[in-house]
Amino acid sequence: MNRHLRLRIVLRLREMEEETARVELATAIEAHRGALKGRDEAGALLSERATDLAEVQVRGGTSDGLIAAARALLTAGAIRERADEAVERAAVLLMDRRGRLADASRRRDAVERLRDRILAEQRMESDRREGAEASEMATTRHVWLAVMDADR
Question: What is d(CA 60, CA 66) in angstroms, rounded to the nearest whole number?
Answer: 9
To 10 degrees, the CA torsion angle through 59, 65, 68, 70? 30
Q: What domains does the chain contain, in order, with CATH numbers?
A: 3-151 (1.10.287)
Each residue's pLDDT tens digit in the chain (152 positions)?
A: 577 888 899 999 999 999 999 999 999 999 999 999 999 999 999 999 999 999 988 888 788 889 999 999 999 999 999 999 999 999 999 999 999 999 999 999 999 999 999 889 989 999 999 999 989 998 888 888 888 887 76
pLDDT at 141: 86
Q: Which residues contact 97 (CB under 8 A, 6 or more apart)?
A: 21, 24, 25, 27, 28
Question: What is d(CA 38, CA 81) in angstroms, rounded to the nearest whole number?
Answer: 11
As a residue count, the chain comes to 152
pLDDT at 150: 79
pLDDT at 87: 98
pTM of the model: 0.73
pLDDT at 143: 82
H/E element holding 1?
A: none
pLDDT at 1: 58
